Structure 1
Amino acid sequence: MSRKARQRTSRLPIRMQLMLPIAAALMGMLVLGLFQTVTVWDQYQDSGDAEVLADLAGSLNRVLDGHQNEGGPFLEAVLTQDMEGFDAAAARADTDEAIDDFESVGSTAATRFPSLDSEIEDLLERADELGAARTSLDGLAAGELEFSGEEVLGAFGTYTAIADKIVELSSLLPTLVNDARISAQLDSIASAMQLGRLAAEIQFRVTADLAFIAVEQALTVDRETLGNVAVRAGAYDRQLTDFQNNASDQVIDAFQDLAEGDGPRSASEALGIYLNGSIPTISPPEFSAAQGEIVDSWNRTTNTAMMYLRQDVEDLGQSSTRTLLTTFALIIALSLTAIISAAMLARRISLRVDGVREATLTAAYDTLPKTVAAVSQAGNADDVDRLLQSAKKQTVIATDSRYSDELDSLAEAFSAAHHQALRQTANQALLRIDVEAMMKTLARRGQSLIRRQQQVMESLVDDSGGSRIPDEWRSVYHLLSRMRRNEENLLLLAGGDPQRRYNHPSDVETIIRDAVSEIEDAGRVVVENQVGARLDTKPAGDVVRILAELLDNAASYSPPTQAVRVTSRRSGSEIVISIADDGIGLGPDQMSAINRRLAEPTQLNSELTATMGLLVVGRLAAEHAISVQLHSTMGKGTLALVRIPAAAHAEDPVGLVPQHGGGAAARLALSARAANLPITGTGTDGAAAGATEPIVPRPRKAGDAFGEPDPVPARSGSIPQAGRSRGATGTPGAVTPTLATSAPATAGPGGEPVDVTFRKVNRALESTGRENGSALPRRAPGSKLLPGSVPGSRPSGNGVDLDPAEIRDRLTGFASGIAAASEHEQRQ
């Protein structure tokens, strides 16, 4: 079906109609959301960071205030000899409380800013040294130590180091926040703290030098002290410039108001005279008090800056919150707009989309699978054509003439693909019907030719009289039997129905015996522990085919000197027939693949022709719900388990099947000759010569339980089993044909004669025992075994015992097979 181009009636395709407003809204949301999110997130982070840093700066300011309130007044009291007017314990308690608060705030700040962790830890370690410094200062106040002593100088160094560390840490805070206003506020606070520290140091050093000059009646200032004061005064001026550049107008105005008093003015004049190298007229206590007002003004300025900082932080948090809410509101509004637009457009085309969807789903999951299944099972070309025309009418997808867009094109494309799939299915069905018909014709023709060849060979045997039958004839005859079975497999796989083997239910013993007679190496098969059960007519014949294929594989893939063991038993309501060989076994991957093919048989193709027997086994087993599984261990052989369900079992009504008369009524005449004639014909020729006589394994000699099979003579033109043979007299190739009327003996175990004629073997297989004096059947041990299949009693010294290692290997292989079968039963 050609695809016709149709003119569009809409200006935009459906996809664009749906995606254009949504894409526009989403793009707007993405752009706005991107900028707003970055901004809001930065502001939110800055507000949080600023809050943490503000708390840290406040805590540092409290520690510095406590430190200065503890050290400065203490030294002033020592210099003025007025310790009673200073409460050192209270001042130290305030310092310790400020340090404890800083430890808590510092932990939070270190979590938020890992770069501050080392600085905070260093400050806390220095704070731990205050105890020793305080002890030294107490010794100085008590007169036990002097200002020039190492302990006192060390205490001064501790206080100075703590103050320097506090100022250094506060100077790092402005670099940790992105907001310029908050950063400037933090910088101004750090500058105010630094100015307060420098003013306190100047207060201490100048006051100490003035007190020393007053005591020593010196005429000049100490040059070293003057140099230290000059350095700090210069640093003070530079830091004051930085403060004025960074601080807000409100903070600068607050400082100027505090620094305009008489005390700060007097301290500045006295400091100027001192820096010029002269001795100011102001007394040490007066200078200390005046300079203390400057220190106090800086402390107040720092508190004022902290107040404005917290206010700015709060404003920043509120602003970021408002921005965040605005962003969310815009995103929600745009989302609603996009959703409403999409809903309106979707509603407009929903009926069309639903119609196409329903039609395609129905065609894909209902109409097409049903049509494909029906066409695949069609028996002739007329049925295929009828089903194809009906499916075409059901898969037409109706379109709306008002629209001609992607949906309409999609419907047309799906209809075209659907029709093409139907056409391919019909072609495959017609090809399958043709191939199956050809395979049936070729299989039946091959069966007819093979049967004619077997009849010719049987005529040659009849014409030979009592002369010996060449071994080559036996080989050719068994090859013909293999060819017949191959033709039957082809006919079965092609859908044909080979002639039934039985005309009524048969017992398991007969089924196993007929399956053994189908293979070339029947003499290697050992049948053990047969159960007394019967199978229905159809399952019985198919079980023979299944067992024959498995036995053929077991005999082909195991050493020619080893036996193939067949055992039957009951397992609950099932009958389990096991076939074990002593071959090299199969690998796990190969075993899994074979079991999968047996459980799920497929169609015959070129890849499966080499293992067509397994496909036949799988087909027949699936037809009767029979489970066939292989279990194998590398180097220990292979075990095949055939589980026959109760549905295939047959009742054994009294009088249905006669037990005498040579078994002619037990099986159909032509189909009973499993190894002699192809399974064709009508099954009504009950008097066919030799029809009831199966080919059976020949006896084995004592001491050679797994030796080569001997030839078995035929009756009335029947050809015995082919294979490598040894004559009864020990001459290779010597074969003596035996008629049913004669009863020759072959040397058996222990030198006893063993009758291996077909009637003798048939009676041995079908006998149920002999009657005793009370006319009751008496069990005869070994009466159901094939003559010659089990060696007789062996004279001492004439046999060769098996090696113990070989016995262990065989027992291990057997145990492995039983364990694998048990494991499979548990998984079932």
Structure 2
Amino acid sequence: MNTRDWPIRSKLTALVVAPVTALLALWIFATALTFGPAQGLLSAHTLLNDFGKPGEAVVAELQRERRLSVVYLAAEPAQADLVVQRRRTDEAIAELRRRISGDDLRDAASDLLDARLDRLDAALEALPDGRGQIDRREADRTDAVDLYSAMISSAFHAFAGMAALPDPELNRQALAVTAIGRSRELLGQTDAVLAGAFVSGSFAEGEHRQLVRTIVNQRFLAETAVTDLPATERAAYQRLTEQVEFRRLVQIQDLLIATVGDRPPIAADDWRADYNAVQQAMRDYELDQADGLADRSKPTAVRILVLLASAGLLGLIAVVVSVLVAVRVGRTLAGRLARLRTVLERSEQQLPELVARMRRGETVDVEQEVPAVDYGADEIGQVGRAFTAVRRTAIRAAEGEVNLRRGLNEVFLNIARRSQGLVYRQLAMLDRMERRTEDPDELAELFQVDHLATRLRRHAEDLVILAGAAPSRGWRNPVAMVDLIRGALSEVEAYRRVDIGGVQSAGLAGRTVGDLIHLLAELIENATGFSPPDTRVHVTGVRKDDGYTFEITDRGLGMSTEALADANSLLDSSPEFDPARTDRLGLFVVARLAARHRVRVRLRRSEAAGLTAVVHIPDEVVTEEPPPSGTDAPDGGQRGGSGAARREVPRRPATGPEQLVPAGTTSVTTVGEPATTGAEAVQVEVAGEIDGLPRRVRRRPSTDSRGRAGGASVPPVGAAGASRQQRATGPDEASADGRSGSTSSSPDGLIAAVPGATGPAVDGPTMRQPALGGGGDRRASSADPTPRSPEEARRVMAALQAGTARGRRVAATQVPKSEYGPGLRPKEPSDDPEPPTGTERDT
């Protein structure tokens, strides 16, 4: 039995119950051991009256019937005396059976006496059969003596059981009286043998030897029993033996022992007179001794009961005192220990509250929060004082940890802010380099560096979020959900593998745009990083009654049940960032961003394979889809305040240009395959954009004469004058034509193209727009376009630089991503090193 895990109250109870139970058991045992003998002594009168005297009467009647039966077998006289004696014997037996069947005798008798009474009753059952044998003379004189002697012996055996008194002295005296009774019975057997010999004139065969044995046994029993009697009773017996009849009877016995012949040496009258006198005197002595024993047993029983009651009372008092003392001591110990447990439970609640207060910057007084409590001077008091010291040490340690964590957060935040400054300077430098560059190949490489810089900015913002601060980017006006997805794709490396489909129309409040872009980018990049490179990642958006839900589904290996439950628990609780869990950085970022705007993020297994990230945006930040940033002017040629025109510009057969997506379109597909060879015309916005993320579609790039695939669109040159007007347009201005981009015809009938979106270039068969103007035919028929004038080249470069500058302004509010995607699994290297082609930086 293991008692280590028992409650302290149970241990104290066991400590008290064990000795008290043992003491109580000893008290009960002593009481039972003493009460039994006392009850036996008290029942001595009942046994004597209900069995002793009736039993002795049966013995006397059986002895008389035995002598008359032997006389009947010896001479066949008239049976009148025998019949009368048998009637008297039956009456005595009936009275005895009535007494021994009563409840009083059976309750007072011991188990030993009960068994002997049953054997006596069974022995008396043989009396009718024996009488029949005697009447039919089927038994001789010896058989008759043996028959009656067996029944009398059973009676004396029961008397011995009654004489087993609890008191040793009384028990020895009772056994001595019983032995004297046996001696008298042997004297009765001698009388029966002599009665037969007197009638027949001689002893039967073997009767003389039997007579001698009986006389010897009778004398031995009498002499032995007298020695166990007390002095007074022994003196009384001595007086009995000194009577004249007793002495003459002894002389006759000596003469019978010395006789050699078959005839009795004495006359029947001499024997009868002395025998009757001695038999009656011995019987009276036995009855007197039995009455005396019963009288003496009662005071002894009372004395034993008084001692028993005294011992029982003292034992009960001792048990009660032991219980009271044990309960009082145990209750005191349990109460003091319960105080310690209460303090422990309070500490378990107090310590997190103190840590939360310290993290909020509040000052905590340890002495006041953990006051000294007097627990006493014993061992429990020492434990209490040690526990108080431990609590104070824990609070001081927590305070040091909070200060350390606060310092680390400040370090993270400082590093992040510095990194952000460097990245913004890098982006500005790239902007200047792009403005000065005219070579399309160099411009494409600058776009790749531009995309890497955008991702570096996201990593810096990860540190800002983990440090508990908020990114500095933000929108004032709502942004369409499809633009939210495009903004997230602009920060994903493998954007070409992402399919956007089924995004229902809705808008998002401007205050949450930056954080939601960051959150979606984390989840999308995790999906692309942990699914095979030849699979697609699907993004859908559904408007619901209680908000808006995005689902991002990949076809990867998924997660185990335990890992999935752990990730969902972290997303729900948004715990403090644990530096030891570096494999969950992105998960911490997603949890922080989701908790900031009450967004619910859950991971579940997809129907086919992989995982599905479900992002539910609450209805309080969901709006109607915002109107486009500009509408067509009434005259179809002027844009609100910008006056930008559309022109056609010839393009080299290197890579395909990009095409804008109409503002109302919500289903797009991003791909990265090369398009057909040749020049293509594209519509491009040269003045105006929506307040958020511009939308556009990229034509499939063609392979140029040097064999390069159009993985990164090279911006065109020309239309510089229009692009300068576009740089002057801020992210909060709206164009008047109602579209996300516009074109204007140049004097030479070509179309000028400028990048107009922050996200990766996307295309799809349903999103393409035919090129406007007739320049497409001329580009198809002319492999060597007419050289541009310096003024035309300047306008094209100005338009390109204005587009990239506008893209940086928009991307300034987007959120970087952690090194490991959304934090669910470490990010694998991407096999698509090219950034989105022609992407405008959102600064």
Structure 1 pair 83–624 and aligned structure 2 pair: CA distance change class (3 A):
farther
CA distance in 1, matches of 2:434, 2:196: 152
Aligned to 1:316: 304
Structure 1 pair 573–411 and aligned structure 2 pair: CA distance change class (3 A):
same
CA distance in 2, matches of 1:490, 1:39: 77
Residue identity matched to 1:491:
V
Structure 1 pair 603–218 and aligned structure 2 pair: CA distance change class (3 A):
same
Instruction: State the SS of the aligned residue for 1:316.
Output: helix
Displacement of 1:727 in angstroms is: 11
Structure 1 pair 159–560 and aligned structure 2 pair: CA distance change class (3 A):
farther
Is the CA contact 1:371–1:391 (under 8 Å) kept in the aligned structure 2? no
1:178-217 → structure 2 map (5 Å cutoff):
182-193=167-178, 195-196=180-181, 198-199=182-183, 201-217=185-201
Aligned to 1:604: 577
Structure 1 pair 418–75 and aligned structure 2 pair: CA distance change class (3 A):
closer
Aligned to 2:620: 649
* 1:740-770: CA deviation from partner (whole Å, max 9, x where unpaired): 999xxxxxxxxxxxxx9836569969xxxxx
Aligned to 1:374: 357
Aligned to 2:31: 44
1:435 equivalent to 2:419? Answer no
Higher RCO structure (Cα 8 Å, ≥6 apart): 2
1:498 equivalent to 2:471? Answer yes
User: Alpha carbon RMSD of aligned pairs, Å?
Assistant: 6.7
Is the CA contact 1:147–1:153 (under 8 Å) kept in the aligned structure 2? no
Displacement of 1:434 in angstroms is: 1.9
- Aligned with residue 139 of structure 1, among 132, 141, 151: 132
Structure 1 alignment gaps of length 5 or more: 1-32, 110-115, 175-181, 347-352, 663-688, 702-712, 743-755, 766-828
Structure 1 pair 471–274 and aligned structure 2 pair: CA distance change class (3 A):
farther
Structure 1 pair 479–738 and aligned structure 2 pair: CA distance change class (3 A):
closer
Aligned to 1:238: 224
Displacement of 1:441 in angstroms is: 1.5
Displacement of 1:552 in angstroms is: 4.8
CA distance in 2, matches of 1:522, 1:445: 28
Q: So what's the TM-score if we normalise by structure 1?
A: 0.55
CA distance in 1, matches of 2:310, 2:113: 34
Aligned to 2:78: none
1:294 equivalent to 2:279? Answer no
CA distance in 2, matches of 1:95, 1:187: 26
Aligned length: 625
Displacement of 1:440 in angstroms is: 0.6
Larger radius of gyration: 2
CA distance in 2, matches of 1:132, 1:63: 18
CA distance in 2, matches of 1:127, 1:567: 107
Aligned to 1:82: 82
Displacement of 1:493 in angstroms is: 1.7
Residue identity matched to 2:626:
V
Instruction: State the SS of the aligned residue for 1:603.
Output: coil
Structure 2 alignment gaps of length 5 or more: 1-19, 69-80, 259-263, 632-659, 674-681, 686-692, 717-740, 742-758, 769-843
From the two aligned structures, give the one with the greater helix fraction: 1
* 1:479-533: CA deviation from partner (whole Å, max 9, x where unpaired): 7766554433322121111235654556766656655665555566677876776
CA distance in 2, matches of 1:726, 1:258: 147
CA distance in 2, matches of 1:263, 1:568: 135
Structure 1 pair 326–449 and aligned structure 2 pair: CA distance change class (3 A):
same
Aligned to 2:648: none
Residue identity matched to 1:277:
I
Residue identity matched to 2:216:
A
Residue identity matched to 1:657:
P
- Aligned with residue 761 of structure 2, among 758, 762, 769: 758
CA distance in 2, matches of 1:192, 1:157: 20
Residue identity matched to 1:438:
V
Deviates more, 1:526-535 or 1:204-213: 526-535
Structure 1 pair 52–240 and aligned structure 2 pair: CA distance change class (3 A):
same
Structure 1 pair 569–189 and aligned structure 2 pair: CA distance change class (3 A):
farther
CA distance in 1, matches of 2:234, 2:544: 106
CA distance in 1, matches of 2:552, 2:568: 15
Structure 1 pair 150–419 and aligned structure 2 pair: CA distance change class (3 A):
same
Displacement of 1:615 in angstroms is: 2.8
Residue identity matched to 1:490:
L
Residue identity matched to 2:126:
A
* 1:537-591: CA deviation from partner (whole Å, max 9, x where unpaired): 5566555555554555555555556666667779985767666666555555555
Instruction: State the SS of the aligned residue for 1:208.
Output: helix
1:141-290 → structure 2 map (5 Å cutoff):
142-143=135-136, 145-146=138-139, 157=150, 160=153, 164=157, 167=160, 174=166, 182-193=167-178, 195-196=180-181, 198-199=182-183, 201-218=185-202, 222-227=208-213, 230-231=216-217, 233-241=219-227, 243-244=228-229, 253=232, 266=245, 270=249, 273-274=252-253, 277=257, 283=271, 287=275, 290=278
Displacement of 1:442 in angstroms is: 1.6
* 1:434-457: CA deviation from partner (whole Å, max 9, x where unpaired): 211111112233345556667888
Aligned to 1:11: none
Residue identity matched to 2:761:
F
Residue identity matched to 2:296:
Y
Residue identity matched to 1:317:
L
1:323-402 → structure 2 map (5 Å cutoff):
323-325=311-313, 373-378=356-361, 387=363
Deviates more, 1:491-500 or 1:328-337: 328-337
Aligned to 2:5: none
CA distance in 1, matches of 2:301, 2:158: 25
1:674-689 → structure 2 map (5 Å cutoff):
none
CA distance in 2, matches of 1:600, 1:264: 117
Residue identity matched to 1:84:
V
Q: So what's the TM-score if we normalise by structure 2?
A: 0.55
Is the CA contact 1:740–1:757 (under 8 Å) kept in the aligned structure 2? no
1:533-552 → structure 2 map (5 Å cutoff):
542=515, 545-546=518-519, 548-550=521-523, 552=525
Structure 1 pair 454–225 and aligned structure 2 pair: CA distance change class (3 A):
farther
Structure 1 pair 622–88 and aligned structure 2 pair: CA distance change class (3 A):
farther
* 1:438-478: CA deviation from partner (whole Å, max 9, x where unpaired): 1111223334555666788899999696669999997x988
Structure 1 pair 219–548 and aligned structure 2 pair: CA distance change class (3 A):
same
**Identity over the aligned pairs, expressed in percent?**
18
Structure 1 pair 277–294 and aligned structure 2 pair: CA distance change class (3 A):
same
1:669-748 → structure 2 map (5 Å cutoff):
698=670, 734-738=709-713
Residue identity matched to 1:270:
L
1:419-568 → structure 2 map (5 Å cutoff):
424-449=397-422, 484-500=457-473, 502-504=475-477, 519-520=492-493, 542=515, 545-546=518-519, 548-550=521-523, 552-553=525-526, 556=529
CA distance in 2, matches of 1:601, 1:136: 106
Is the CA contact 1:443–1:490 (under 8 Å) kept in the aligned structure 2? yes
Is the CA contact 1:563–1:582 (under 8 Å) kept in the aligned structure 2? yes
Displacement of 1:395 in angstroms is: 7.6
Residue identity matched to 1:607:
A
Aligned to 1:6: none
CA distance in 1, matches of 2:180, 2:607: 93
Residue identity matched to 2:208:
D
Structure 1 pair 758–699 and aligned structure 2 pair: CA distance change class (3 A):
closer
CA distance in 1, matches of 2:702, 2:199: 148
Aligned to 1:769: none
* 1:335-375: CA deviation from partner (whole Å, max 9, x where unpaired): 9999999xxxx9xxxxxx9xx99xx9999799988765433
Is the CA contact 2:226–2:234 (under 8 Å) kept in the aligned structure 1? no
